Chains A and B, each alone.
Chain A
């Protein structure tokens, strides 16, 4: 019995130590944004000597012509429609796959899953040329359109799994009550699907918010830069001098994600556990 307690304590200490290592860089980043450049470079202390806001003020102004206000707005203009389009299109498509038997259902579903295996690197060049022909370069269409047309097989798969767990008798009952197939989706299934839809929204928000490669390729005017490109530009310009500006803007740019994480924690864990485990 004593041995068991001993193991418990060791494990507890172990995960506390690992946990602190995990969270330390983030805490350090937060406090570094209040430090002066010399302090960031040389001091070992976590806390700054005094809280200095100049990094935020100067960093926010960025190059001067465009400030982080613009970059935040751009990011929202990319993220919000992308997330909404994704969740709507994926739900509709998942409903089609899960509830209707048509010729080739299984085959198409398999094809959809297999597209998960295609690396982004293969698609990025032809997509670039395609979007250039469409005249979509330097606009947000390359983000919105694939979302509108349900190009996220992982999310569709997750919702199909969820829908398969909902008894078909519910649909039948609604049909008898006079619902058509679209009303069955909107009135009966969507309320039940809500946790799954929220988790799609969360993950799509994170991915689009953090996305760097796609903006790098499709967006070239600074006025349309999202946060990821703006930060990268700051790194280029500052050239190892103004670290506190970079750290403060890095903090600001991930703050919305952190807030979202704390508000919606429950859905995060459910989302991963359900999408990864079933099937």
Chain B
């Protein structure tokens, strides 16, 4: 009995750093964030409790906020499916035991490592200039970064370009699909397309779920490219939520209001992932009968 107690104490001792870190850098900030969202706190000076005024202001006065939410939603709808489709196609081709697989893996994975950096955002600004290499290469005269129609797409390309990590996950999942299942399906006369939808896709659906959730969270958090490449413009067409929250907080010094906005983003993320998990019941297939 005493030894068990000692073991328990040791367990707490080992996770102690995390408990401190969790309280100090996660739980307390989270609670404070909500508290601040009910105040008119600015970067300096006193502040007072103003109830849900910030939230009312969000829904009644702030037109930019609706724009930012809509831009964020458009961004997710554009980036997440494109990224996953590319990742899946390439992973499937690579799993056909093609020669030079290591070189391909390197080529596809390298952008994922560098894509989040300011260096790549700078590169995008140079490549997509009106007189830049992209227009010269494909012979167009599009104002990629200056035209509200194209700006969000151009930024989204940076994100889509980083499909490498999803690809590696798909690749690992595809390797685990038992060969005899394919053979059995072929003997039963199923065509390639049917095999893909009836055998491959269900078997990798858990990884698909993981990728969708992770990529959605990533897309929501993306910030560097919008800030560096376009700065939210032109005409706020790339002013995604993360950027708006930053500007309201640290440029306009309106910390209380920005906190309220961040809670809107948080609740949106929770609803979205809740929705994804809810629907996953119908399309995710666990080969061991579920329940992990």
Contact = CB atoms under 8 A, between A and B. Distances in A.
Contacts of B258: 125
Contact of B127 (A28, A207, A257): A28
A212 B77 CA distance: 25
A127 B29 CA distance: 6
Contacts of A117: 217, 269-270, 273
B289 to A, nearest CB: 16
A176 interface: no
Secondary structure call for the A interface: helix
A47 interface: no
A151 B224 CA distance: 22
Interface in B207-225: 207, 210, 214, 217, 220-221, 223-224
Contacts, number: 282
B65 interface: no
A227 B114 CA distance: 13
Interface residues of B, number: 94
B25 A22 contact: no
A254 B21 contact: no
Interface in B61-110: 86, 90, 93-94, 96, 98-99, 102, 104-110
A254 B114 contact: yes
Nearest to A181: B10
A192 interface: no
A207 B7 CA distance: 35
B193 interface: no
Interface stretch (A48-56, A61-69, A76-84, A101-109): A101-109
A11 B7 contact: no
B248 to A, nearest CB: 10
A124 B126 CA distance: 30
Contact of A277 (B96, B173, B269): B173
B233 interface: no
Contacts of B133: 28, 40, 44
Contacts of B104: 15, 19
A18 B28 contact: no
Given A149-B20, A279-B292, A258 B172 contact: no
Interface of B: 7-22, 24-26, 28-30, 32-33, 36, 41, 86, 90, 93-94, 96, 98-99, 102, 104-111, 113-114, 116-120, 122-123, 125-127, 129, 131-133, 136-137, 161, 165, 168-169, 171-173, 207, 210, 214, 217, 220-221, 223-224, 227-228, 241-242, 245-246, 249-250, 255, 258-259, 262-263, 265-266, 269-270, 273, 292
Interchain residue pairs A-B with the least CB separation, the first 10? A149-B21, A96-B14, A100-B11, A250-B119, A102-B11, A126-B29, A96-B15, A126-B32, A102-B8, A210-B117
